[in-house]
């Protein structure tokens, strides 16, 4: 039950929410291009510094599992700014870290509470007219994906121009400002009366009862895994022969994905018209084609850039379709549904990163491309299963 106006008409609030989604998600990726700089600064083995990336991923996964589901039972207008404030504290601890364990502490705090974006999105759905759901989700997802894609570029650039700590202090200050601005502007949506541990029991029931949630989560996980192969291999490919690009230029290449991410809001509008099946199919086709361009991109940089942009476009279409579908399954459990979906989504991403590195060291770029294509075909197969299951539900 809503007690708030339709936020789809409030453009300034949507922009603030989209920026908050991007900043929160991007906070977990700052450390990836900074490993060498951090290693030199603290004068510790690079293998220890690399654990920072692992801590960021693990803490974010724990936040998805343990914090996001609580979004259904708390006052989100207070909960979201609180999460953002704790994220800012984690970022500022990183900015003022005097040793590696202190950086790890800040990274864990940041990762754990940066799930604010995954509470913001269900809130936006609950405060939007049903026919505008996809459009609003798409707009916020554009902010989230742009933040994810820009985070490594900006952190690498600022590190090269100034200092690796600058990105942490700037984003921490901006996060506090956004938390303050959102606190008085977020719409109030009634919370459900349920205990914290009851939330997890109900999540188990959702997993048993809602097959479309599982199928669409696996579709998203496979698609994000295909994209994540690029995250883990881009530096390996572009810093070696025949490209030998500097780290800062490797980060710039990822900007090609921004154009795909920005298409999310338009994909959301199509999803609102009931075209989720067509969007998913088209997204899978585009992602499959992207791997052809990426394969050629092993020798031709322009082709790699085109493939990077296409794969981001395909992923945006699939992800928008998935969220449009899952948020309609159980309106009373949107935060719990999003927690399940995003946990499986980022689990897929982590697996894709691991597979990418494994494929690179056991078969080079050609093997990485084959694995990426295989994951896209996996997403297509599960989307086909979802199509038949949805058709059967409509007949019954």
* 50 vs 347, residue with greater confidence: 347
pLDDT at 145: 79
Average of per-residue pLDDT values in the chain: 87
* 46 vs 288, residue with greater confidence: 288
Q: Is the pLDDT of residue 100 over 90?
A: yes
**H/E run at residue 224:** helix 211-238
Architecture of domain 194-396: Up-down Bundle (1.20)
Least confident window among 4-18, 79-93, 351-365: 4-18
Could you please state the CATH topology (level 3) that the domain comprising 1-193 is classified under: Growth Hormone; Chain: A; (1.20.1250)
CA–CA gap between residue 351 and residue 28 (Å, rounded): 17
Q: Is the pLDDT of residue 1 over 60?
A: no
What residues contact 313, with CB distance under 8 A and at least 6 apart? 259, 260, 263, 283, 286
The yes-or-no answer to whether 1-193 and 194-396 have a common fold is: yes
Q: Is the pLDDT of residue 171 over 90?
A: yes
Write the DSSP string, 306-332.
HHHHHHHHHHHHHHHHHHHHHTTT-GG
Q: How many CB atoms lie within 10 A of CB 129?
A: 14
- Residue 28 has φ and ψ, to the nearest 5°, of -85, -5
Q: How do residues 103-141 score in pLDDT, each as one tens digit?
A: 999 999 999 999 998 889 888 878 888 777 777 887 888
Domain locations in the chain as residue ranges: 1-193, 194-396
Q: How many CB atoms lie within 10 A of CB 205?
A: 13
Sole residue written with tokens 């291999």 = 233
CA–CA gap between residue 259 and residue 280 (Å, rounded): 18
pTM, 2 dp: 0.81
What residues contact 91, with CB distance under 8 A and at least 6 apart? 27, 106, 110, 168, 169, 171, 172, 175
* Cβ atoms 267, 321 nearer than 8 A: yes
pLDDT at 334: 81
* Cβ atoms 29, 81 nearer than 8 A: no
- C-alpha torsion angle, residues 222, 255, 27, 117 (rounded to 10): -60
pLDDT at 5: 55
Q: How do residues 2-57 score in pLDDT, each as one tens digit?
A: 444 578 778 889 999 999 999 998 998 888 778 778 888 998 887 788 788 778 88
Average pLDDT over residues 51-73: 85
């Amino acid at each position: 039950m809503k007690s708030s106006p339709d936020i789809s008409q409030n453009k300034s609030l949507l922009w603030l929410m989209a920026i908050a989604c991007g900043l929160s998600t991007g906070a977990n990726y700052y450390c990836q291009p900074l490993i060498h700089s951090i290693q030199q600064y603290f004068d510790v083995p690079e293998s220890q510094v690399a654990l920072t990336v692992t801590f960021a991923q693990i803490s974010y996964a724990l936040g998805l599992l343990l914090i996001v589901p609580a979004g259904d039972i708390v006052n989100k207008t207070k909960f979201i700014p609180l999460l953002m404030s704790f994220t800012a504290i984690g970022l500022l601890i990183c900015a003022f870290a005097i040793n590696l364990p202190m950086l790890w502490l800040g990274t864990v705090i940041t990762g754990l509470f940066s799930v604010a974006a995954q509470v913001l999105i269900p809130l936006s759905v609950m405060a939007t007219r049903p026919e505008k759901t996809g459009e609003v989700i798409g707009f916020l997802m554009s902010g989230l994906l742009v933040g994810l894609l820009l985070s490594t570029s900006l952190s690498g650039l600022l590190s090269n121009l100034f200092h690796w700590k600058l990105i942490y202090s700037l984003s921490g200050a901006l996060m506090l400002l956004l938390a303050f601005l959102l606190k008085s502007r977020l719409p109030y949506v009634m919370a459900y009366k349920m205990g914290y541990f009851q939330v997890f029991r109900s999540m188990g029931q959702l997993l048993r009862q809602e097959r479309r949630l599982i199928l669409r989560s696996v579709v998203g996980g496979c698609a994000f895994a295909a994209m994540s192969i690029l995250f883990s291999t881009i530096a390996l490919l572009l810093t070696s022969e025949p490209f030998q690009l500097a780290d800062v230029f490797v980060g710039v290449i990822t900007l090609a994905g921004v154009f795909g991410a920005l298409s999310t809001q338009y994909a959301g509008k199509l999803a609102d018209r009931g075209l989720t099946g067509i969007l998913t199919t088209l997204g899978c086709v585009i992602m499959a084609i992207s791997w052809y361009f990426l394969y050629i991109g092993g020798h031709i940089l322009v082709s790699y850039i085109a493939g990077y942009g296409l794969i981001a476009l395909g992923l945006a279409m699939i992800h928008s379709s998935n969220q449009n579908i899952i948020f309609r399954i159980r309106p009373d459990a949107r935060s719990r549904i999003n927690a399940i979906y995003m946990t499986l989504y980022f689990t897929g991403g982590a697996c894709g990163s691991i597979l990418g590195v494994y494929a690179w060291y056991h078969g080079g770029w050609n093997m990485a491309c084959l694995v990426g294509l295989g994951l896209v075909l996996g997403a297509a197969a599960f989307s086909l299963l979802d199509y038949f299951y949805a058709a059967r539900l409509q007949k019954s």
